[in-house]
Chain A
């Protein structure tokens, strides 16, 4: 069975600073994909970044980067230069078959 763990229920960060959101996973599959989504109060799920298990390099998308440590089974999201609009829930997810299994989420609040 696959499991995603996000141990930070809430995080605070000052505007313009970087923040790391933790995610660990457990799977016996050699091939898997890891996703990060942002969910603002409106409820929509906004795709941020994807990391494949066989990818040699850490994924990056603009201000988002994924610190992928395969041996530790961690896939932390790093947001650089935080903005007020980054305040939202953030979910880490793993692809199971074709559906996604989500972690419990981290609420990020960016302070001015």
Chain B
């Protein structure tokens, strides 16, 4: 099946710094990718929809200036957490749709802000 690769898998950063997370579709083109956040012992919540060549669509309550999304090519979307704070510590995971019946996920990134 199609593969989505996410990097890094874990990152620890200092409060106030920015962190970039990459999501790549390895063997198919993804015009649309999705970014989710998962707090401990909770479900996945959609943050934003990343559209190749255009602005991302953010879910209600998600700060677009804090969570910058860039989808510069058909195989790469990036999420940058700007001026990270401890409350941004979470599990971030991307997905790309490979077809009608498919939704492939990256391995996820565990972000810890200290």
Contact = CB atoms under 8 A, between A and B. Distances in A.
A104 B93 contact: no
A47 B104 contact: yes
Interface in A3-22: none
Interface residues of A, number: 21
Interface in A60-85: none
Interface stretch (B19-27, B66-74, B94-102): B94-102
B42 to A, nearest CB: 7
A87 B33 CA distance: 29
Interface of B: 1, 32, 34, 38, 42-46, 49, 91, 93, 95, 97, 100-105, 107-108, 110
Given A45-B108, A104-B43, 15 more contacts: A42-B107, A43-B38, A43-B93, A43-B107, A44-B107, A45-B44, A45-B95, A45-B105, A47-B105, A50-B101, A95-B103, A98-B32, A99-B34, A101-B46, A102-B44
Contacts of A44: 105, 107-108
Given A98-B49, A99-B46, A33 B97 contact: no
25 contacts: A33-B100, A37-B105, A42-B107, A43-B93, A43-B110, A44-B105, A44-B108, A45-B105, A47-B1, A47-B104, A47-B105, A50-B102, A91-B43, A95-B103, A98-B32, A98-B34, A99-B34, A99-B46, A100-B34, A100-B95, A100-B103, A101-B46, A102-B43, A103-B43, A104-B42
